[in-house]
Chains A and B, each alone.
Chain A
């Protein structure tokens, strides 16, 4: 994995916070952890403009007349965060060319999975294809949490959400989760990565740093558990993330200028059932008559893992 600086958790944790406390996100929320981790990778001397798609994050972090952002911030609508950023970036380029601005700005866009995998997908794809010098960060909590836990194309199969309700005739969401990171890699942009909160946060920090300081478009997909939507105790966030990585439900990898790199391979894969068992949204799968569905999920995870290993040249 490429990184510009040697990692030290102590040094990184001492960087001034760019997302101030006092925002209205839930206790134990997985998204703000990711936002702070990304922002810590910004050089303190660099300016940034943050764009946010309509989301939990937006309504909770920039509620008039307050803002938690220590950088200039713009929200326009749900489906167009990336396009909005491409406008800001074009303005920056215009000002730079005309000598109207000395400072260096970085452009970071945050969206949830609804605003990224679904309604904002076209805008994201367009901004990436146009080569906008920006980082798009998806905090993927696998459903529309802001409106009350509705299924998205990122919601995993069989998850119980308020629009893929479990009942006597339903076992939750019928469809598989969309593999967005792979779709973004297919844009052949300079940098695409998938990460989450593991250990001393080295993985997310270094990927954020590379994403921010790579010239051109970069996409970072962060697995960001939602205790309300996934139904686990807030204090278990790190365990849920670890189980997702150890079970290969959420592999850590990056695609650097087209080269696929697997960042972590578990010595012994954790059974997917162990990951599912931690969360109330999969509770119905553990009824005896549903056990075959857990096997289906295991098979899907195994197939995608093998495909990823092959892309990364891991034999």
Chain B
């Protein structure tokens, strides 16, 4: 029986960690994810978990230690944000190429330059091609639920890839919400035990991890990762279906909100989806056929499914909480447009960059976005890419 409780996103992640009781956690403090290792330390101090907690001297070492532990055959987890994730970037690629099912609680925060502690997605978007599965959470409930599913996905024998569960810094990580939490024993049953096929601490079989791979082999190893990421699609849906059967909450690659007959749609990730849904409700009251899609699984990217979801739509706003400074919009914008190309021709799109460094987005901002989409359909001109919520010198 699930029970109601109130907690922040970080507390929800910490609760999941206590229930999963992973063998090793290596983490380094960085706002806003710091609370997670603090909870781990407290759990250990009170004898609530058996986890070996490695208080590393950097995030680079956190990921390196997770790689060592995971290669040695146990469950390894970490938590980080922003510059901490950036310091891990090198090792994120090592973790995925070594096919290690490490799980990371990522609490999204803007990358430094200038330093800022609030939410945007520049940290995990910088790791979006590192071979990690990326799952984004709208609220504390989703952060908790996604974390309960993470190991099952990562450790599936057809996957064996690391997973990061993302939530928005402060907005989700520190905001207290009412959520449903599950019983320890049911969580343990759902997550199950981890029995790796190969690991360093097997006296019957010695192995080498991370060999030098020349051009005759490197490509095939990358193909192994490619296939694993492809396999992850079905595994994510299967695990999500089992989660729904067990705990009653439904998840897919994305959530469609009032999309049945929508003509104007917004695609958004994480906490901003809640604000967007309020805007949709208000617009529907006025008779505007507005809808919203909240992307949950960003890696592997559900290109075909998104194209299908948007096929009846006249205009689409793709919202990036990260400006890749690419000169061609944000990363989500580029990928969604590529996904739609040749499949849903005729949909007009605008790519919005918003919320950088924790800048709030309001319901009225979404009204402006839907206004833009309507204007676009009426034949008015709008830019391909647009920054909203920003003060500009006139």
Footprint of B on A, CB under 8 Å?
47, 49, 51, 58-59, 62-65, 67, 69-77, 79-80, 83-95, 97-98, 101, 103, 105, 122-123, 125-127, 129-130
Q: Is the CB of A62 within 8 A of B212?
A: yes
Q: Is the CB of B214 within 8 A of A76?
A: no
Query: Is there a chain A Cβ closer than 8 Å to B91's Cβ?
Result: yes
Looking at the complex, which one of B55, B62, B68, B210 makes contact with A88 (CB distance below 8 Å)? B68
Q: Is the CB of A58 within 8 A of B64?
A: no
* A315 CB to nearest B CB, Å: 39
Q: Is the CB of B91 within 8 A of A87?
A: no
Looking at the complex, which one of B52, B60, B71, B94 makes contact with A94 (CB distance below 8 Å)? B52
CA gap between A177 and B381 in the complex, in Å: 66
How would residues 39 to 53 of chain B score, 1 for a CB under 8 Å from any chain A CB and 0 otherwise?
000000000001110
Q: Is the CB of B211 within 8 A of A64?
A: yes
- Kindly specify which of B120-128, B147-155, B201-209, B339-347 makes contact with the partner chain: B201-209
Residues of chain B with a CB closer than 8 A to A125's CB: 57
Residues of chain B with a CB closer than 8 A to A75's CB: 209-212
Q: Is the CB of B55 within 8 A of A76?
A: no
Query: Is there a chain A Cβ closer than 8 Å to B56's Cβ?
Result: yes
19 A-B pairs with CB atoms under 8 Å apart are A62-B208, A64-B217, A65-B217, A67-B211, A72-B201, A72-B207, A74-B200, A76-B91, A86-B54, A88-B69, A90-B65, A91-B23, A91-B73, A94-B69, A95-B201, A97-B50, A98-B50, A103-B203, A125-B57
CA gap between A63 and B215 in the complex, in Å: 11
Q: Is the CB of A91 within 8 A of B94?
A: no
Residues of chain A with a CB closer than 8 A to B208's CB: 62, 67, 69, 72-74
Query: Is there a chain A Cβ closer than 8 Å to B326's Cβ?
Result: no
Known: A83-B60, A91-B68. 12 other contacts (CB 8 A): A49-B201, A51-B68, A69-B206, A75-B210, A80-B64, A87-B66, A87-B76, A88-B200, A90-B26, A91-B23, A129-B57, A130-B54
Footprint of A on B, CB under 8 Å?
23-24, 26, 50-52, 54-58, 60-62, 64-74, 76, 90-91, 94, 98, 200-203, 206-214, 217
Residues of chain A with a CB closer than 8 A to B56's CB: 83, 86, 126, 130
A98 nearest CB neighbor, chain B only: B50
Q: Answer whether A91 and B55 are a contact pair too, CB < 8 Å, given A72-B201, A76-B91.
A: no
Q: Is the CB of B24 within 8 A of A49?
A: no
Q: Is the CB of A72 within 8 A of B68?
A: no
CA gap between A51 and B206 in the complex, in Å: 13
Residues of chain A with a CB closer than 8 A to B98's CB: 76
Residues of chain A with a CB closer than 8 A to B67's CB: 74, 76, 84, 87
**Which residue of B57, B200, B214 has the most chain A CB atoms within 10 A of its CB atom?**
B200
Q: Is the CB of B209 within 8 A of A90?
A: no
Q: Is the CB of B211 within 8 A of A62?
A: yes
* B181 CB to nearest A CB, Å: 26
Q: Is the CB of B57 within 8 A of A87?
A: no
Residues of chain B with a CB closer than 8 A to A105's CB: 201
Q: Is the CB of B55 within 8 A of A130?
A: yes
* A104 CB to nearest B CB, Å: 10
Question: Would you list the 8 A-B pairs with minimal beta carbon distance, nearest first?
Answer: A87-B68, A126-B57, A91-B72, A87-B65, A83-B61, A80-B64, A87-B69, A83-B64
Residues of chain A with a CB closer than 8 A to B217's CB: 64-65
Residues of chain A with a CB closer than 8 A to B207's CB: 72-73
* A78 CB to nearest B CB, Å: 9
Looking at the complex, which one of A92, A103, A122 makes contact with B61 (CB distance below 8 Å)? A122
Q: Is the CB of A85 within 8 A of B68?
A: yes
* A301 CB to nearest B CB, Å: 33
CA gap between A79 and B23 in the complex, in Å: 24
Q: Is the CB of B24 within 8 A of A90?
A: yes
Q: Answer whether A91 and B212 are a contact pair too, CB < 8 Å, given A83-B56, A83-B60.
A: no
Looking at the complex, which one of B23, B58, B200 makes contact with A126 (CB distance below 8 Å)? B58
Q: Answer whether A64 and B212 are a contact pair too, CB < 8 Å, given A77-B90, A91-B76.
A: yes
CA gap between A84 and B74 in the complex, in Å: 14
CA gap between A142 and B364 in the complex, in Å: 64
Residues of chain A with a CB closer than 8 A to B24's CB: 87, 90-91, 94
Residues of chain A with a CB closer than 8 A to B202's CB: 72
B24 nearest CB neighbor, chain A only: A90
Q: Is the CB of B64 within 8 A of A76?
A: yes
Looking at the complex, which one of A79, A91, A123 makes contact with B201 (CB distance below 8 Å)? A91
Q: Is the CB of A64 within 8 A of B214?
A: yes
Residues of chain A with a CB closer than 8 A to B55's CB: 130
